Amino acid sequence: MRLQKLGGFASIGIGCILVIGTVLHLRIWPPNGGEDPAKYLEAIDASPIEAFIYNLLSVLGSIAIVLVVLAVRDRMEKMAPNLMRIVVICGSIGGALWLTASFTGIAGVPEILNAKDLSASMVVVAFTEGLLGASEHAMGWALLLICWAALRNKDLPKSLSLVLGIKGILMIVTFGMFPLQLAGALLGVFAYPWLGIALLRSKSRVYEQPK
């Protein structure tokens, strides 16, 4: 149960990170503004502290998502062991890719900014966008499988399971499309805290069974 509580707090934390991160993203990079290397460097140069905070929040989010999938596995693995193994694999892959993209922004972008190298900026933008897209795709599958297992075993509220499934689908099909990414982030603002509360407040059906 300790892991479930830790995952519950981590899930609520992801919701907060999404709120702050979305606001920062819209402030630093207006829609599609980050795809132009010159505009990308200009945006970072104009808001270096905000860009650093954004990447730091991403680091924390990448760690939190792994805690969430481990907590869900702890809760549901006795009823859906194979699905939970895949959920942990997908969530861990997504978290690792998200972490890599975040550290690329923290460590690599300042050097490019100092050099004013548009070619290197183009490479970094393409690299981080690819990492983030792959990360969202992997985490989307994790959420979709959690939805499937929860609906089958009724271990989470049905409405929560459906919301997680919808968010998972949005994350799977985004592929860098900003409107879908924004819709997924806004849905996550509600979905992750809701999942966190469910992990904190209620026990798995496995734990409720009489001895």
Rg, Å, the chain Cα set: 18
Phi, psi (degrees; rounded to nearest 5) at 32:
70, 0
What pLDDT, on the 0 to 100 scale, is given for residue 192? 94
167 closest CA partner among 18, 8, 7, 37: 18
pLDDT given for residue 32 in this prediction: 52
How many Cα atoms within 13 Å fall on the side-chain side of residue 201? 9
What per-residue confidence (pLDDT) applies to 5? Answer: 92
Domain residue extents for the chain: 2-205
d(CA 207, CA 46): 53
Residue by residue, pLDDT tens for the chain (211 residues) are 688 999 999 999 999 999 998 888 877 776 554 556 677 777 777 778 888 888 899 999 999 999 999 999 999 988 888 999 999 999 999 999 999 999 888 887 777 777 676 777 777 778 888 888 899 999 999 999 999 999 988 888 999 999 999 999 988 887 656 677 778 888 889 999 999 999 998 665 544 443 3
| pLDDT, position 14 | 94
Q: Please say whether the beta carbons of 6 and 166 come within 8 A.
A: no
pLDDT of residue 208: 45
